[in-house]
Structure 1
Amino acid sequence: MSTRNAIEDLFRRRTRPAGDGHLNWTGYRNKKGTATLHWNGSNHSALRIAYRIRTGSDPIGYAHATCEHPGCVAPKHAADSAVTPRRGHHTGPINRQPNSSDDQVKALLREELSDRQIGKRLRTSPKRVAALRAELGIPSRPVTFEGRWDANTEPADGGHIRWTGRFRAGSNPAIAHEGRDTSPRRIAFERLHGRPAVGRVLPGCGYGPCVRPEHLEDQPMRDQLASQYAAIFGEVAA
């Protein structure tokens, strides 16, 4: 598979249909909220890749969405700012209401959820949550692995759990834990099986973004499965 085809395939696996031809981005977003895909040590704009899928070439200016669906990365909605001017940053009402009420945010704060967990659940800014936290005088809890896991995963069809957070080398989930950058798959595997993982931890279910602990395998598990297949097919051949 060529580099171009590989990155475009990864783009497709980081999206989810949202109706009316829109595509939601399920992958990593940078600090500005821009949909970003990490590939071969570099960050790529998801909209730039979408434009390339639609036209076969890179935009001259900035890639932007022509629709009003928040965060849409559908290729047919991707345009080049050098050809099609970008819509104004404030096309909606100046005083439009946030996605959730203050009371909804405060209720979840009292349930001791983190700012990011609440932001993800209510589709609002964690900074807004933090401001309401300060207003109520509720101290922030240290961010645990469980908190980061909840903020960066979502259920997927077929019983899988999709990683929506940061990726390394294009397809390897990554998370900051205890002062180091590590694999959430490795941590989830070790917590489920009660032993350190040996070799790479990969989803044995075949679904690339899956991090469901029960679906993860390390090298000894893969070797054991290969031996079982060899024994089964060897007996059939005999």
Structure 2
Amino acid sequence: MRSIAVFSVKGGVGKSAIAVNLAHASATLSGRRTLLWDLDAQGAATFTMRLGAAGSARKAFADGQLAPLIQPTEFPGLDVLAADRSLRHLEAQLLDEKAKRLKKLLKSLEKDYDRIILDCPPGLTELADQLFRAVDLLVVPLIPTPLSERAFAQLTDHLGREHKNGPAVLPVFSMVDRRKTLHRERVAEHPERAVIPYAAAVEAMASTRLPLLAAKAGTPAARGITSLWTQIERTLGALKT
């Protein structure tokens, strides 16, 4: 089993949309048994997958009893561990415990899933530090602007200081508008990064409540997700077991 956290220091970068689409790609393109774990109290990923809370996510986190909150989706091989507003209080709980709880919980799921995609709240918090100790790969969405690059630099600096044996890091350009000179220049500077364009098809996910490959498979945004997923699988395959 491999775990992938979609994480950003700052919000508003398309994180939840990418997490939903990667989970769907994992199940449909790769045929992986996949769990989308929504750790963001806003529950955007849960909502997009046409699901709602099945109980207190914070309590399940504390008790280590995740199975009752896991729900199937309409896509074979793809389940969701839903979020709810109780996760607003998760940070205080983690600070009190000071344990590697998230790593233990991921370990408890490894027999049931090949890939776990975590949609994470933004910020360098205790939850983030537990993620950095637990997951195999960080997928980091970046809008191609100086502020987003600055946030990425803060993340890599933190990992270098606090998590020298931490996860692999894979940045991806998100919400790219090629009409903007700055966006084009930043993307050209990093041709190795996958690109998810700013697109009506991505915005429409909040209405259709469907992943791009299910609703708009032929769009540039869907092709960007496919390219990103291919890059993720290649990166995971290169990691030591």
Shorter-chain-normalised TM-score: which range?
Answer: under 0.3
* Structure with the bigger percentage of helix: 2
* Larger Rg over CA atoms: 1
| Structure possessing the higher relative contact order (Cα contacts under 8 Å, 6 or more residues apart) | 2
